[in-house]
């Protein structure tokens, strides 16, 4: 029984790390998107 609980705890910790990793990837992607939007807006200004 203790082994099962230890495995569940290890699974939960791994799952939490994956969620954190996914959250960080999402934050990084959103930052990149915002940077690209700024670049596009600067390019559009140069054509006006």
- Please give the residue range of the domain that contains residue 5: 1-48
Number of domains in the chain: 1
Three-class HEC string of the chain? CHHHHHHHHHHHHHHHHHHHHHHHHHHHHHHHHHHHHHHHHHHHHHHC
Return d(Cα 26, Cα 36) in angstroms, integer: 15
Q: What is the pLDDT of residue 15?
A: 78
How high is the mean pLDDT of the chain?
85
pTM: 0.62
What would the pLDDT profile of 15-46 be if each residue is shown by its tens digit? 778 878 999 999 999 999 999 999 999 999 88
Tens of pLDDT, residues 4-14: 787 777 767 77
């Amino acid at each position: 029984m203790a082994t099962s609980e230890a495995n569940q705890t290890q699974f939960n910790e791994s799952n939490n790390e994956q969620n954190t990793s996914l959250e960080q990837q999402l934050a990084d992607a959103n930052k990149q998107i915002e940077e690209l939007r700024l670049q596009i807006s600067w390019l559009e200004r140069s054509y006006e």
